[in-house]
Structure 1
Amino acid sequence: MNALTGPDQRIEKPQLDEINLRLLAELQHDPRLRTTELARRLGVSAPTVRERLARLEESGVIRGFRLELDPAALGLPVAAWIRLRPGPGQNPRIIELAGRTPEVVECHRISGEDCFLFRVQVGSIGDLETVLDKFTVHGQTTSSFIVSTTVEPRNVPLPPY
């Protein structure tokens, strides 16, 4: 059942049965598959696939579909991780700044001495310096260039079905 539950109106997660897990596996492999092709592969009807997809999206199991671009082909060949140790009371400002800085392609709150970890994608070292300058007024930064990626970002592993 996919009904709203409790006073906070959270949507109950759909059961991850074999069909849902196979559906997710197919979409992880190729998120552009048409409903009819998914139905054929799963041995169910197209309306069943649409209903299951809707439930998985509504519940947040499927958070979205993304287009993967090559940053270097777009003139953004320099990638770096930036760790930031904020000054007192700076967290809200840092979160807001990261959200409006397009070069910040990931931002994570982390444990340890540093509170934030950013991944940035820029066109040059000078552009990285400009990004760093925006954040150093809020705390101490440490940056590391990404020299190569040995394991590309990948989907989370699905439970066996």
Structure 2
Amino acid sequence: MDKFDRKIIAALHENGRLSFAELARRVNLSAPAVADRVEKLERSGVIAGYRAIIRPEALGCPIQCLIELTVKNQEYYTVLELLKAMPEIVHCDSITGSSGLMIRVAVDSMGTLQALIARLMQYGDTKTSMVIDTPVSHRLPPLPEED
């Protein structure tokens, strides 16, 4: 990965809808060269996809929280499949420590949150923390130095 790839990645991370012409202008390459580089970055798995960032509160889900869920080992994979079917769960990480899962939730009301927590408690112990702000979001990790 060279400086042009890093510039392309940074620009696409900022705005995944940039045209090849605009990307080319920003990184000082031709549009065909940028298209080739983007294709290589996609094939190698560096770029895994493109998506819009949606604000849950704009969709009527102003309450967001993090729920730590401690699942019994023998039920772990079953619980993962159940979580995937719960639309209120917008993100889930498997983490180290005693919890096992860190779940990010977006809901429309405290009643909905209470019902969700009650469902989750069937599968293990929960600890809920309300999100009051997200000062760092969707940040690009440090890019490797030139090969």
Return the match for 2:45 from 50, 53, 60: 60
Which of 107-116 and 61-70 deviates more?
Answer: 61-70
* Matches of 2:116 and 2:73, distance apart in 1: 21
Return the match for 1:69 from 51, 54, 75: 54
Determine which structure has the larger helix proportion and give its number: 2
Aligned residue for 1:140? Answer: 125
Deviation at 1:149, TM superposition (A): 2.3
Aligned residue for 1:158? Answer: 143
Which of 112-121 and 42-51 deviates more?
Answer: 42-51
Return the match for 2:64 from 76, 79, 97: 79
Aligned residues: 146
Which residue identity does 2:79 align to in structure 1? Answer: I
Structure 2: give runs of 5+ residues left out of the alignment: none
Aligned residue for 1:115? Answer: 100
Deviation at 1:70, TM superposition (A): 1.9
Deviation at 1:148, TM superposition (A): 2.2
* Matches of 1:44 and 1:87, distance apart in 2: 53
Structure with higher RCO (Cα < 8 A, 6+ apart) = 2
Report if aligned partners of 1:94, 1:135 keep a CA contact under 8 Å in 2. no
Deviation at 1:154, TM superposition (A): 2.1
State the SS of the aligned residue for 1:108: strand
* Matches of 1:35 and 1:90, distance apart in 2: 47
The CA deviation string for residues 74-115 of structure 1, in whole angstroms up to 9 with x for no partner, is 110000100011124110111101111111111111111111
The CA deviation string for residues 142-161 of structure 1, in whole angstroms up to 9 with x for no partner, is 11111222333322232456
Which residue identity does 1:65 align to in structure 2? Answer: Y
Identical columns (%): 36
Structure 1: give runs of 5+ residues left out of the alignment: 1-15
TM-score with structure 2 length normalisation? Answer: 0.90
Change (3 A) 1:23 1:150: closer
Report if aligned partners of 2:67, 2:104 keep a CA contact under 8 Å in 1. yes
| Matches for 1:17-96 after TM superposition, within 5 Å | 17-96=2-81
State the SS of the aligned residue for 2:74: coil
Which of 42-51 and 107-116 deviates more?
Answer: 42-51
Change (3 A) 1:96 1:110: same
